[in-house]
Chains A and B, each alone.
Chain A
Amino acid sequence: MARSGNASPKNRTRPVYIVDGSRTPFLKFRGKPNAFSAADMGVAAGRQLLLRMPFEPDALDQVIFGCAGPAADEANIARIIALRLGCGNRVPAWSVQRNCGSGMQALDCGLHDIQAGRSELVLAGGTEAMSRAPLLFDPRFVEWLADFNRAKTALAKAKQLGRLRPGMLKPVVALLKGLTDPVSGMSMGQTAENIAWRFGITRNEMDQYACRSHQRLAQAQDDDLLTELEPLHGPDGRAYDMDDGVRRESTVDDLGRLKPVFEKPYGKVTAGNSAQVTDGACAVMLASEEAVEKHGLPVLARIVDSEWAGLDPAQMGLGPVHAVTPMLRRHRFALGSIDYWELNEAFAAQVLACTAAWRDRSYCREQLGLSKPWGDIDPDRLNVDGGGISLGHPVGTSGARITLHLAHVLRRFGGRRGVATQCIGGGQGGAMLIENPEASA
Chain B
Amino acid sequence: MSGTKLQHCTIERDSDGIAWVTLDVQGEAANSLSTEVLKELEAALDELDSGDRPKGIVFQSGKSGFIAGANVQELGAIENATEADALIERGQRVMDRIEAMTAPTVALIRGFCLGGGLELALACRYRVADRDPSTRLGLPEVRLGIHPGFGGTVRLPDLIGAPAALDLMLSGRTLEGRAAQRMGLVDFALSPWQLVDATRDLIRRDPGRHRPKWWQRLAGTLPGRYALKPIMQRQVKQSARAEHYPAPYAMLDLWVRHGGESAPSRIKAERTSLTRLIDGPTAGNLIRVFLLQDRLKREARSSDVVVPNRVHVIGAGTMGGDIAAWLALNGCRVTLFDEHDKAVASTLKRARSLFQKRLKRPERVTAALDRLTPDPRNRGVEGADIIIEAIVENLDAKQGLFRSLEPRMREDAILATNTSSLPLEQLAEGLQQPGRLIGLHFFNPVAKMPLVEIVAGEHSDATNLDRGQALIASADKLPLRVKSAPGFLVNRVLMPYMIRAAELYAKGTQRESLDEAAKRFGMPMGPLELADAVGLDVCVAAVDVMAEPLGLEVPASMRSMVDNGTLGRKSGRGFYVYDNKGKPDRGRISLEPAELDRLGQDLIKPLLDEAERTRDEGIVADGDLVDAGTIFGTGFAPFTGGPLHYREQHSGQRG
Contact = CB atoms under 8 A, between A and B. Distances in A.
Interface stretch (B376-384, B499-507, B536-544): B376-384
Given A51-B375, A54-B383, A86-B371, 9 more contacts: A47-B370, A48-B379, A51-B379, A234-B349, A235-B348, A235-B349, A239-B341, A239-B345, A241-B376
Contacts of A43: 370
A54 B342 CA distance: 28
B348 A231 contact: no
Contacts of B375: 51
Closest 7 CB pairs of A and B: A237-B349, A239-B341, A239-B345, A233-B374, A233-B345, A237-B346, A84-B370
Interface in B332-347: 333, 335, 341-342, 344-346
Interface in A14-71: 43, 47-48, 51-52, 54
B348 A237 contact: yes
B335 A237 contact: no
A231 B374 contact: yes
B341 A235 contact: no
Contact of B345 (A84, A86, A238): A238
A84 B341 contact: no
A230 interface: yes
Interface string A224-235: 000000110111
B366 interface: yes
A51 B335 CA distance: 9
B373 interface: yes
Interface in B230-251: none
A222 interface: no
B352 interface: yes
Given A43-B370, A86-B370, A239-B342, A51 B383 contact: yes
Nearest to B380: A51
A47 B380 CA distance: 11
Interface residues of B, number: 24
A181 to B, nearest CB: 35
B28 to A, nearest CB: 33
Interface core residue of A48, A233, A235, A241 (most chain B CB under 10 Å): A233
Interface in B356-379: 366-367, 369-371, 373-377, 379
Interface residues on A, range: 10 to 19
A54 B408 CA distance: 13
Contact of A84 (B346, B367, B379): B367
Nearest to B333: A86
A27 to B, nearest CB: 14
Nearest to A40: B366
A85 interface: yes
Interface of B: 333, 335, 341-342, 344-346, 348-349, 352, 366-367, 369-371, 373-377, 379-380, 382-383
A47 B344 contact: no
Contacts of A51: 335, 373, 375, 379-380, 383
7 contacts: A48-B373, A84-B367, A231-B376, A233-B374, A234-B349, A235-B349, A241-B376
A311 to B, nearest CB: 41
B525 to A, nearest CB: 29
Contacts of B377: 230
Contacts of B374: 231, 233
A84 B348 contact: no
Contacts of B367: 84
A345 B376 CA distance: 30
Nearest to A86: B333
A236 B349 contact: yes
Interface of A: 43, 47-48, 51-52, 54, 84-86, 230-231, 233-239, 241
Contacts of B333: 86
A233 B370 contact: no
Nearest to B312: A51
A241 B341 contact: yes
B387 to A, nearest CB: 14
Residue of B369, B371, B373, B382 with most chain A CB atoms under a 10 A cut-off: B373
A324 to B, nearest CB: 35
A79 B374 CA distance: 22
Contacts of B371: 86
A235 B370 contact: no
Contacts of B335: 51
Contacts of A231: 341, 374, 376
Contact of A233 (B348, B366, B383): B348
A230 B383 CA distance: 19
B229 to A, nearest CB: 45
Contacts of A235: 348-349, 352, 369
Q: Which of B366, B367, B382 has the most CB of A within 10 A?
A: B366
B640 to A, nearest CB: 42
- Residue among B344, B348, B371, B380 with the highest chain A CB neighbour number at 10 A: B348
Contacts of A47: 370, 373
A237 B370 contact: no
Contacts of B383: 51, 54
A231 B379 CA distance: 13
Contacts of A52: 379
A233 B352 CA distance: 12
Contacts of B380: 51
Contacts of A239: 341-342, 344-345, 376
A86 B373 CA distance: 12
Contacts of A241: 341, 376
A84 B376 CA distance: 20
B352 A84 contact: no
A197 to B, nearest CB: 46
A234 B348 contact: yes
Nearest to A39: B366
A235 to B, nearest CB: 5
A233 B370 CA distance: 12
Listed residue (A231, A234, A239) with the most chain B CB atoms within 10 angstroms of its CB: A239
A294 B354 CA distance: 41
Nearest to A53: B383
A127 B380 CA distance: 24
A439 to B, nearest CB: 26
A298 to B, nearest CB: 14
B379 to A, nearest CB: 5
B344 A233 contact: yes
Nearest to B365: A235
A433 B367 CA distance: 38
In the complex, which of the residues B369, B370, B377 has the most CB atoms of chain A within 10 Å of its own CB atom?
B370
Contacts of B382: 54
Given A51-B379, A84-B367, A234 B345 contact: yes
B345 A237 contact: yes
Nearest to B373: A47
Contacts of A86: 333, 370-371
Contacts of A48: 373, 379
Contacts of B345: 233-234, 237-239
Nearest to B370: A84
B224 to A, nearest CB: 42
A230 B376 contact: yes
Contacts of B344: 233, 239
Nearest to B367: A84
Nearest to A232: B374
B332 to A, nearest CB: 12
A54 B366 CA distance: 25
A132 to B, nearest CB: 16
A237 B321 CA distance: 13
A417 B576 CA distance: 70
B384 to A, nearest CB: 10
Nearest to A57: B333
B454 to A, nearest CB: 28
Best-buried of B344, B345, B377, B383 by chain A (most CB within 10 Å): B345
Contacts of A85: 370
A377 to B, nearest CB: 34
A415 B98 CA distance: 83
A234 B348 CA distance: 7
A317 to B, nearest CB: 37
